[in-house]
Every structure is written in structure tokens, then in C-alpha cells.
Amino acid sequence: MPHVVTQSCCGDASCVYACPVNCIHPTPDEPDFATSEMLYIDPTTCVDCGACVSACPVGAIVPSHRIPLGQERFADINALAYAADGQLGLTDARFPVDPVQRLPLAPIEHPRALGIEEPVSVGIVGSGPSAMYAADDLLRHRAVSVIIYERLRRPFGLARYGVAPDHTRTRQVIDLFDDIARNPRVEILLDTEIGRDITLDDLRARHHAVIWAGGAPTDRRLEIENIDAPGVGSATSFVGWYNGHPDFASLDPDLSHPCAVVVGNGNVALDVARILVGGAGRLADTSIAPRALAALESSSIEQVTVLGRRGPEHAAFTLPELVGLVDNGVRVVTDVSAFTDVSHDNLDPVARTKLELLAELATDEPVSGRHIRLAFHHTPQAVSVDGSGAADGLVVANSQRTGPSTTTTLPAGLILTSVGYRGQPVPGLPFDAARALIPHDAGRVVDDGRRVPGMYVTGWIKRGPSGFIGTNKTDSGETVASLLADLEAGLLPRPTRGSKRRPTRGSRATLVRAGR
């Protein structure tokens, strides 16, 4: 029986290198790796050896006869990703998609010995996936030691605070980061903020090189009338609230109204909608914050509308996320009218499957009980407020190409925006305000066209808020490769202060290994 990649795939690609027959794609060396929703196993090539199962950090790979309940569709999804000739991307004339020419075998680059013998110290700011993957690559070289500086009191960033608590298998990637943290040549300093406990200049003086992996910590702002009214918030803060992020511990979302709206339809939007109406009982044995669980137990929300400006063929959420939503007990519906303008042109088989699944959910019948409505062709115009100034609805315009232009008010006591993340400027580093990124050349920080000696960048602050957990692995790999090349070329400055000294506010810095 062939093996199957299922919903919790994080795109880490460890399975790619473990496979002896190169049946898992896209590989990190193929052009669509950075944009693929997940990895896929070719059922005609898989030899059922199981090497990929032990390599997967999140338990996403299973034999086809042991697919978990509610994920049976993934056997077909994996198969659909391949043409009869084994190429990724179906070559049938109905799907005009250029196939990716895959390599005979996924290349494995074994770390070569560095051309230096003296000890090298690298500082990494942040401890999320991009930081941990960078540390893992660096620690393959015995001369290198790493100190990670984390602002929060618990490590691993979005892997801990961004993954929904009921996605327990995806959260298992923390086990991989725990293993990295156990390396005796890495330290993680928690509750240590750059600019508060240690300056960037001081940090650079303590290390041969510094990698900034601070992510994109803020939301893109939705500029409509009354967006700051009580009852309106961001999906990011709501996710932080139910995951126990200390920055959002005091959040008190109003769950007393029967209706809520989430603006945006990416994976985070579906996570938020599912948590709101999925029932608190199924969350009791997860890592959800106790305060959030208590609030959800008394919630009055019956309907969550997930709003998309474009049509269902352009839905931002991934097929795995949609399958996990509709096949696990949550009632999901869409509007029949959303499909009148839909074009199937240039859709690959996986995208076509997503569209077909959405069409199965379409209904014109009234829906009662707790449910999620995926609404397309709706553009937010303004937040409607009651006499006290609090949100009581969202005014939306119909953006469908055919039919009359209409405006509707969707009732809602809770409105959450989920329209993307945005990086923030770092004092002392250059910043591209238009793209909200730190400018770089293959991970080397660049200021006005010139490289900043010893400064590197990785993760969302480098490439923007895109990709999945595993995307950070190749992203960080590029940055580390640049750093090591500069090291061997003698381009890194020597530390002028001992890297083992603790920050000024050392009492706030906690050394942790494999900390939960």
C-alpha cells in the first residue's frame, strides 16, 4: 500500500530526503516548493518502505489503509498531484499546467568541514521556526555555537502560538525544535528583548554574526470606517488569546452575539472560525489557554461568516485546511450564487478539487445551528455600530462581476480581520517600508546597496508572510549558506566582547533547553 501525506503536512521536506525512490514532491530544489500547499507522495512510485514516516516531524504521513478518520480524501489528493508519467502537475489537456521536471533523486547536501578552526559565535534574534532551522544548520559545524535571544518566556514563536490548539499533529514540530535546543552548543535566552535588555550594537559586538529572525509581528490594517470600534479586532490577537500568548492574555472578546465575521479567507481565518463554532468540548484536552476555553464554553456564537473579496476559485485557504474543516464535524456552507462567475481555466488538479469541494457545500436553504458560512465576492465597506459605538455588523459590497452592485450589512457582534501580516522596522537596521521587509541579498542585510557586515535575516521579515512552517527550512538554509561563505572568506567581524556575558538585565534572561 502506498503512503499518503495528510492534513498536518508542514512542508519540512525531511521526508523528501528520507525517501529512497524520490516519490515525494515538490522537493526544495523544485520551483514550486515555496508555494505548494503541502507535499505529495506519488502512489505509483512509492515502495511502502516507511522511511518517510519516521522522518516526518508532525506525523503527517500514514499508509493508505490507515488514514485517520476524516482525512480519507488525502489518498485522492496525493494521487491527483501526479500525471500518468509520474510528473508533478497533470498533463491532461483539460489542465494546461506545465509539469515540473523532477530530479532523478532528491539531492542531499552533507555539510562539509569549514575552512576555519577557531570557535565561531552566532546570535539569532527570535526562536520561531526560521530561527530554529537556522540554528540546526549552523550546529552541523562543530566550530559554531549559537545563542538565541527570545523576547517571550517560552520559545518557538508561531509554532507554539500560531498553530491552532486542535491541530495537535502540526504542533508536534515543537518536538523537533526541542531536539535542536538540546544541542550543548546552543543556548536560548528567554524574556530577553533587543533594545530593552541588550542593544543591537552590543549584540553584534558579542558575536561573529547575527541573524535577525523576528518575523512579521503585526497585522495589515483594514482601512474602513469604524475599524477601531469595540468588538473589532485582529485574527492574530484572537489566535494569540486562545493559544496563551502573553501579549494577548488580557483580551476579552465579546462572544455574546450569535453572529461573527472574519474578514479574509486564509488558513488563519478558517482556524478562527472553527475555534469559534466547533464546540469547546473538543478543545478541552488540547493546549488551549484555560481562560479562552472558559469563554468559549459560554459563547453564544452560532454563525461565523468568513469573508472573501474574490470568488471561490481564488480562496486563500489551502485544500488541506478545507478538508480538515469540512470532514471533522463542523457544518460549513457556501452560497450557490458565488459559483455563477467561476472559471475553471488554468486550475491544476489540486485547485480544481478545492473548487469542487466548495461547490458541494453550496446551498440556498436556511441553515440553523452552529455553522461556518464561506462568503465570496464581498468587499468590506464599513463597520456598523450601535448606539454605544460598539460594532453590530459589517457593511459589505457585492464584488461579483455579473449582477447588480448591492450593499448588505452582515450582523455581527465580533469582527476579526485576517488580511495578512506585516513586518516592523528594527531600530539600527535598514527597512523597506513599501514591502515591510529588511532588504537583503541572499540573506545578507543590505543598506542602500551595501552589505551590513555580520548582519543576516531569515523568515517572514526576510521574504514576507508567506509559506508554511517548513518553508522556513529552505529560507534559513539560504541565509546560513551566505553566512558560512562570508565566514570562510574572512568577511565577518571578530567579536569585541565575550559572547557568554549575559545581557544587562540578566535576571530577566532564562537559559532553557528543550523548554515547554
The predicted pLDDT at position 108 comes to 65
Considering Cα of 488, then 492, then 496, then 497, what sign does the dihedral take? negative
pLDDT of 344 strictly over 60: yes
The predicted pLDDT at position 467 comes to 85
β-sheet bridge partners, residue 149: 125, 189
The CA–CA distances, whole Å, from 156 to 30, 138, 516 equal 27, 17, 9
Considering Cα of 295, then 300, then 303, then 304, what sign does the dihedral take? negative
Alpha-carbon distance 318 to 364, whole Å? 25
- Spacing of C-alpha 132 from chain mean position: 15
The predicted pLDDT at position 103 comes to 58
Lowest mean pLDDT among 34-48, 61-75, 76-90: 76-90
pLDDT of 116 strictly over 70: yes
Please report, rounded to a whole number, the percentage of residues in the chain having pLDDT higher than 90.
76
Mean pLDDT value of segment 239-261 = 96
Alpha-carbon distance 152 to 113, whole Å? 35
Mean pLDDT value of segment 171-195 = 96
The predicted pLDDT at position 30 comes to 85
pTM of the model: 0.90
The predicted pLDDT at position 67 comes to 92
Q: What is the grid cell recorded at 461?
A: 521579515
pLDDT of 127 strictly over 50: yes
Residue with cell 502573553: 246
Mean pLDDT value of segment 133-162 = 96
The predicted pLDDT at position 104 comes to 62
Mean pLDDT value of segment 238-266 = 96
**Residue from 137, 108, 143 nearest 17 by CA:** 108
The predicted pLDDT at position 319 comes to 93
pLDDT of 504 strictly over 90: no
The predicted pLDDT at position 510 comes to 42
The predicted pLDDT at position 117 comes to 82
pLDDT of 343 strictly over 90: no
pLDDT band at 509 (very low <50, low <70, confident <90, very high): very low
Lowest mean pLDDT among 345-354, 456-465, 502-511: 502-511
pLDDT band at 409 (very low <50, low <70, confident <90, very high): very high
pLDDT of 512 strictly over 70: no
Residue ranges and CATH numbers for the domains of the chain are: 3-80 (3.30.70.20), 120-217+423-512 (3.40.50.720), 220-421 (3.50.50.60)
pLDDT of 84 strictly over 90: no
Q: What is the DSSP string of 75-122?
A: HHHHHHTB-TTS-BS--STTS--PPB---SS----PPPPPS--S-EEE
445-489 residue pLDDT tens: 999 999 999 999 999 999 999 888 988 999 999 999 999 999 999
Mean pLDDT value of segment 490-510 = 66
pLDDT band at 109 (very low <50, low <70, confident <90, very high): low
The predicted pLDDT at position 425 comes to 95
292-330 residue pLDDT tens: 999 999 999 999 999 999 999 999 999 999 999 998 888
Mean pLDDT value of segment 157-182 = 94
The predicted pLDDT at position 466 comes to 87
Q: What is the grid cell recorded at 16?
A: 523528501
More confident residue, 126 or 29: 126
CB atoms within 10 A of CB 285: 10
pLDDT of 107 strictly over 70: no
Q: What is the grid cell recorded at 502?
A: 549575559
Residue with cell 456552507: 333
pLDDT band at 402 (very low <50, low <70, confident <90, very high): confident
pLDDT of 507 strictly over 70: no
424-434 residue pLDDT tens: 999 999 999 99
pLDDT of 86 strictly over 70: no
**Residue from 463, 445, 443, 461 nearest 453 by CA:** 445
Average pLDDT, the chain: 89
Alpha-carbon distance 500 to 516, whole Å? 24
Lowest mean pLDDT among 89-98, 119-128, 492-501: 89-98
pLDDT of 102 strictly over 60: no
Mean pLDDT value of segment 138-149 = 96
CB atoms within 10 A of CB 7: 26
pLDDT band at 346 (very low <50, low <70, confident <90, very high): confident
pLDDT of 284 strictly over 50: yes
pLDDT band at 516 (very low <50, low <70, confident <90, very high): very low
**Contact call for residues 464 and 457 (beta carbons, < 8 A):** no
Cis amide linkage into residue 320, ω under 30° from 0: no
